[in-house]
Amino acid sequence: MAGVILFARCDVDRSTVTEEQIEELTPRQIVRELDKYIVGQGEAKRVVAIALRNRTRRRRVDEKMQEEIYPKNIIMIGPTGVGKTEIARRLARLVGAPFVKVEASKYTEVGYVGRDVESMVRDLVETAVNMLRERMAAQVRPKAESRARSRLLDLLTSSSGSRRRFISGFGGHEDAIVEEEESEERTASREQLGKLLDEGRLDSREVEFEISAKPGVEGMFGMIGIDEQMLGNVRDMMEKVMPQKRRMTRMTVAEARKLLIDEEIEQMLDKDKIQREAINAAEQYGIIFVDEIDKIAGRQSGAGPDVSREGVQRDILPIVEGCTVFTKYGAIKTDHILFIAAGAFHATKPSDLIPELQGRFPLRVELDSLTMDDMRRILVEPENSLIKQYIALMATDGVELSFSEDAIDELAHSASEVNRMTENIGARRLHSVLERVLEPVSFDAPDQVKGKFTIDRAYVKDRLAEVMKDQDLSRFIL
């Protein structure tokens, strides 16, 4: 039976899930969580659930044995739009694991200009650092807000010579009133000013203070084609070597509050700790999703300047086997990173990969194509399905949009037919079909269309009649 993927937004609040709860997730529970967002594709969900559970099992065995247990990497086989990426992404979100998606076809063999395969590991570490930074920033934010509030009160109550730190933004008669208010506020107690600040009554006023000015590394190297990774390394080095400059700036209290909070958070974060924990998280929990691996399958070598597909495979092999990659945050071992590869494998098959790489992806699972019934379920079952999204969007313009049952049937049928007649892009076709159907309503709202508006089968057929009967046109439009 064909499976169906629901492209719903993940609503798991990672902040409410404890490490102990993650450790206790069984394969059945993992599949049950994935079922909330992905319908069908049961075999693929079982495989990834076992792979995730095996990570927990590994951490519970003897420490010496842990180093001998390697992840069983997975190859997902199936056409585009059936949920390969979504399964891997939801899995990572479920446990808060660092996750990156890369495309194998973007990499080049060593010795050619282009992205090197080690960049996927550097991207994973960067993701882990950002995740840890956000998590720790959330922990220190209340204290940072308190410090920023205190600094704002200092700015509002201080003065330097004739330059006022508390400046009004009005003019004319209103300015005279404001000047009088300022005189009263300057004599007011710090507590009274704090109350006005908390109530937002001072948000439009301006304050003047010093901020750090980072060196403009991008401007120094922007003309010589330096790549993004190297630019990041140079930027970090320059910030450490060059002295921090400060400059005076003037902005409203509301703007200054955000900037000061960010500055306080940055000062309170332990950057060394973030880097250490990020490296460990990437090593032990990281997931790298390698898409389009079928595009590099094949053992023939390129001629002349062409990059051989086998060469790219051989460059990826050490990363998957386990090696040490040096990043700007430190060295990371890739031995226990989980790799999930995916591809349609229309023109090739997994056995076309070099034997060494095949051996590093021992688990293979085939995902089902989507049927018309699957398309219908995608339209109506997710909490934030496409239909519900459009209903919410139109409601903002005063249009009460609704879809009849036969209209939903026709939408699913049309999407399936266009997939059959042209390129099969799975559930992504629904975006094109729905946008085409709702274009007049979206354009005319709220000028000409207001109140209730029902989409029925006749309306859908009328909007799609031209593209459905003309295969060449449907290729162009949908």
Span 29-74, pLDDT tens digits = 888 888 877 767 888 888 988 988 888 888 888 888 888 888 889 9
| Stated length of the chain | 478
Q: 3-state class of 58 per DSSP?
A: helix
Q: Which of residues 344 and 467 earns the better pLDDT score?
A: 344
Lowest-pLDDT range, 131-140, 335-344, 378-387?
378-387
Q: Which two three-digit tokens encode residue 273? A: 């700790």
Whole-number average pLDDT of the chain: 77
What kind of architecture, by CATH, is found in domain 372-477? Answer: Orthogonal Bundle (1.10)
Q: Which pLDDT does position 179 carry in this prediction?
A: 52
CA distance 369 to 427: 10
Beta carbons of 338 and 88 less than 8 angstroms apart = no
CATH number attached to the domain at 14-128+278-366: 3.40.50.300
* Of 287, 268, 270, 7, residue with least CA distance to 127: 287
pLDDT at 3 over 60: no
Read off the pLDDT of each residue in 328-342 and give the average, rounded to a whole number: 90
What contacts 298, CB < 8 A, 6 or more positions away?
309, 310, 348, 352
* Of 274, 111, 237, 103, residue with least CA distance to 229: 237
CA distance 162 to 88: 61
Q: Which two three-digit tokens encode residue 385? A: 């399905």
Of 249-258, 275-284, 414-423, give the range with the top mean pLDDT: 275-284
Q: Which two three-digit tokens encode residue 422? A: 């042209």
Q: Give the start-to-end residue ranges of the domains of the chain.
A: 14-128+278-366, 131-275, 372-477
Q: How confident is the model at residue 299 (pLDDT cuts 50, 70, 90)?
A: low
**Exposed e or buried b per residue across 435-468, where buried means at least 16 C-beta atoms within 10 angstroms of its C-beta:** ebbbeebbeebeeebeeebebebebbbebbeebb
Beta carbons of 310 and 298 less than 8 angstroms apart = yes
CA distance 52 to 35: 16
* Of 166, 149, 156, residue with least CA distance to 258: 149
Lowest-pLDDT range, 26-30, 151-155, 183-187, 402-406?
183-187
CA distance 335 to 55: 12
Q: Which pLDDT does position 99 carry in this prediction?
A: 92
Read off the pLDDT of each residue in 446-461 and give the average, rounded to a whole number: 84
Of 152-166, 232-246, 272-286, 460-474, give the range with the top mean pLDDT: 272-286
CA distance 399 to 390: 10
Span 384-425, pLDDT tens digits = 788 888 899 888 888 888 899 998 998 988 888 888 887 788
What contacts 70, CB < 8 A, 6 or more positions away?
322, 335, 336
Q: Which pLDDT does position 12 carry in this prediction?
A: 38
pTM to 2 decimals?
Answer: 0.73
Lowest-pLDDT range, 29-43, 73-87, 101-115?
101-115
- Same fold across 14-128+278-366 and 372-477: no
- The H or E element that residue 103 is part of is strand 99-103
The per-residue DSSP string of 323-372 comes to -EEEETTEEEE-TT-EEEEEE--SS--GGGS-HHHHHT--EEEEPPPP-H
What is the strand order of the sheet 338-343 is part of?
99-103, 287-291, 338-343, 74-77, 363-366
* Of 378, 290, 331, 227, residue with least CA distance to 100: 290
Q: Which two three-digit tokens encode residue 450? A: 């207001």
